[in-house]
Amino acid sequence: MARESLDDLLRQEMQDILDGETQLTKALPRMAKAVESSQLRAAFEQHLRETEGQIERLNEAFELLDESPRRKTCHGIKGLVDEAKELMEELEGSVLDAALIGAAQKVEHYEIATYGTLRTFATMLGKRDVANLFEATLNEEKATDEKLTTVAESMVNRQAAAGEDEGDEESESIASRAARTMGAAAGRASAFVRPAANSGGRSRSSRGRKGSSSGSRSRSSSQSRSRSSSSRGSRKK
């Protein structure tokens, strides 16, 4: 088995990041289209143009090494791009903006580590022209990372937080209105039941009084008939 040299490793890493940058030229337009913030959209569109320039630098670096540009699947950036796709499917509004800034910065940190390594390898191998190309791309990646942080801290994160607060207030307001409606309905139901009970009480009381009156009239009539009979008996004698 042949032993790989640092020069071989340099070329393999170049193939890896060339594939990663190519993936980003497809992902960045989708991310720019998905965001709500115009400032963030502009940042993604600017970085797309920079990415296309970085691919040109990589091709130039391959030429300086007398090698044809080739790509090797960059699984690192592929995984980060897939995460960004999931975010775009699950989130929306300012929360999606905040999430995509985080996703983009993960990619930037991957690229910063990669181009820093490539620059060091090229310098160690005495390939100063190649190292300068990587240095230029490294500075762009660092600047993009800082710009994304500025956009997040100055606008997007606050908008995302404000959106959550508004959602909480709306939920509380709905709950309060529901509680008031239920309380009012219970009050009306209670008011309806009490008169019915009182009405029943009055009905029973009225029946009781009627029964008592009938009994009194009956007893009075019997007494009257008794006195009348007694009076007739006295006259006969």
**Residue-wise pLDDT tens digits, 69-128:** 999 999 999 999 999 999 999 999 999 999 999 999 999 999 999 999 999 999 999 999
CA–CA separation, 43 and 110 (whole Å): 18
Residue 19 has pLDDT above 50, yes or no: yes
| Mean pLDDT (whole number) for 60-74 | 97
Please provide residue 56's backbone torsions phi and psi, each rounded to the nearest 5 degrees: -65, -40
Instruction: Count Cβ atoms within 10 A of the Cβ of residue 222 and give its class: 0-12 exposed, 13-18 middle, 19 or more buried.
Output: exposed
Which string of b and e fits 20-41 if b means at least 16 CB within 10 Å? Answer: bbbbbeebbeebbebbebeebb
CA–CA separation, 205 and 184 (whole Å): 32
Q: How far is CA 89 from CA 30, 82, 85, 97, 130, in A?
A: 12, 11, 6, 13, 40
CA–CA separation, 175 and 106 (whole Å): 40
CATH of domain 6-157: 1.20.1260.10
Residue 231 has pLDDT above 60, yes or no: no
pLDDT at 209: 46
For the whole model, what pTM was predicted? 0.69
Percent of the chain with pLDDT over 70: 68
Reported as a single tens digit per residue, the pLDDT across 159-197 is: 999 986 554 444 444 445 545 545 555 555 455 444 444
* Residue 107 near residue 77, CB atoms below 8 Å: yes
Residue 219 has pLDDT above 90, yes or no: no
pLDDT at 1: 42
CA–CA separation, 65 and 126 (whole Å): 12
* Residue 160 near residue 94, CB atoms below 8 Å: yes
CA–CA separation, 131 and 151 (whole Å): 30
- Nearby residues of 160 by Cβ (< 8 Å), 6 or more positions away: 93, 94, 95, 97, 98
Which string of b and e fits 97-116 if b means at least 16 CB within 10 Å? Answer: bbbbbebbbbbbebbbebbe
Q: Per the structure block, which two tokens stand in for 161? A: 């937080």
Count H helices, E strands: the chain?
6, 0
pLDDT at 136: 98
What is the distance in angstroms between the CA of the first residue and the CA of the last residue of the chain?
159
